[in-house]
Amino acid sequence: MKRRRFLIGLTGNIATGKSLVAQMLAELGARVIDADQVAHAVMLPGGAAYDAVVDAFGSDILSDTNADGTIDRAKLGAIVFRDPAALRRLEQAVHPATVAAVNHLIAAATERVIVVEAIKLIEAGMHRRYDALWVVTAPREIQIARLVAIRGLSQAEAALRADAQPPQAEKAALADLVIVNDGGVADLRLKVEAGWSDVKRRVWGGQGDPPSAGIEVRRARRGDVPEIVTLVRQATQGKRSVEETEVLDWLFGKGLLVAAQDTNGSRVVGVAAWQAENLLSVTDQLYTYPAKLRAEAGGRLLAAIEAEANVLMCEANVVILPPHTFKGVRTFLNKQGYELKTYQELHRIWREVLGEFVADQPELMVKRLREQMIMVPI
């Protein structure tokens, strides 16, 4: 029987700290989907909302430096943050495609608790489909101070951004949980953990995390770091070693997934680090151990990466193979639909992207996620 999942809609006005709350929930074990990031992806050239946005605002919003027709978000923001009617037009153009893409990510997720983070969650009507609505609020003066300090806005521009959104009280009135972020990080964490305890009671009946059947893929947590260090050493038979500081760089700088097994879902049997860059998904760390779990653990890791990369409009997922890669890994990747490619065989645009990840020309395994390239060569 399929286990029931619990969906949380997480929202809050600009600079209230909802992204920090989302990060804390991810560390506690939730799968977090950033709907605002998805919205940016669907506005890329070839994205599901691209034509609607350009039709609504004209070619003046296109980038002056990118010949591929990329929308200049600074130009677009200068329009919509000064004109409520323009902001509504943008939302009408982007929200349907964003909701469809988020629903796809929810369907692909394996975690019991899924958090959808979006600044326009309520305005898009997404909250009505979820089990709980969490709203993060902060005093206006704190919002403005954060925008000035973190984003480098002037006081006037920060105030304009803060005041362009619906009153926080209206969102809070709809919430199942309101988190007032008016203190430090430690204070915020206590509030998030209290809310998480209530979610666990509702999902698992107060019994803690239930036994997990088989292998599940989830976001990596800080507590996984020592196990990941050990796993990399075991998977490579000691030919590759990493320090905890390097794994922490993966955790905070990339999408870091683990395949977990055991009664409490804590035993790490696979790890993958990846990121999407200019419509190309790059997986530069992929390890499983023991070898007998490679097909299941590695397959689930790749499936999760590919599902999210597809929503982000990536044209392919490229797995970078280190020199110590065993033949069995290449065979496994081939069965997953990946083809061995040299650096020079790739399209010029893809080579430019990969140049940001590697200094030499490594061995690559590539899987096309889309038949046609979105970015047209200049």
Q: How confident is the model at residue 118 (pLDDT cuts 50, 70, 90)?
A: very high
Is pLDDT above 80 for 93? yes
Is pLDDT above 90 for 279? no
pLDDT tens track for 177-187:
999 999 888 88
Architecture of domain 216-368: 3-Layer(aba) Sandwich (3.40)
pLDDT of residue 230: 93
Is pLDDT above 70 for 213? no
pLDDT of residue 2: 47
Assign residue 338 a region (left: φ > 0; alpha: ψ between -120 and 50; beta: otherwise). Answer: beta
- CATH number of the structural domain 6-204: 3.40.50.300
**Whole-number Å distance between alpha carbons of 331 and 328:** 5
**Whole-number Å distance between alpha carbons of 81 and 3:** 42
CA within 13 Å, CB half, 93: 22
Give the pLDDT mean for 327-348: 89
pLDDT of residue 38: 92
Mean pLDDT across the chain = 87
Q: Say how many residues make up the chain.
A: 378
pLDDT of residue 371: 66
Give the pLDDT mean for 329-350: 89
Which residue would you say has higher pLDDT here, 164 or 9? 9
Which residue would you say has higher pLDDT here, 167 or 123? 167
Question: What residue has token string 């430096």?
Answer: 65
Calculate what percentage of the chain has a pLDDT beyond 90: 46
Q: How confident is the model at residue 3 (pLDDT cuts 50, 70, 90)?
A: low
Q: How confident is the model at residue 201 (pLDDT cuts 50, 70, 90)?
A: confident
**Whole-number Å distance between alpha carbons of 193 and 21:** 10
**Whole-number Å distance between alpha carbons of 344 and 367:** 16
Pinpoint the residues of the chain covered by CATH 3.40.630.30.
Answer: 216-368
**Whole-number Å distance between alpha carbons of 235 and 272:** 13
**Whole-number Å distance between alpha carbons of 300 and 110:** 10
Pinpoint the residues of the chain covered by CATH 3.40.50.300.
Answer: 6-204
As a whole number of angstroms, the longest Cα–Cα distance in the chain is 61
Q: Where are the alpha helices (DSSP H) in 133-205?
A: 140-151, 155-163, 168-174, 185-204
pLDDT tens track for 256-268:
999 988 645 468 9
Give the pLDDT mean for 156-167: 90
Question: What residue has token string 């292998």?
Answer: 215
- Encode 313-350: b = buried (16+ Cβ within 10 Å), e = exposed: bbbbbbbbbeeebeeebbebbeebebeeeeeeebeebb
Is pLDDT above 80 for 374? no
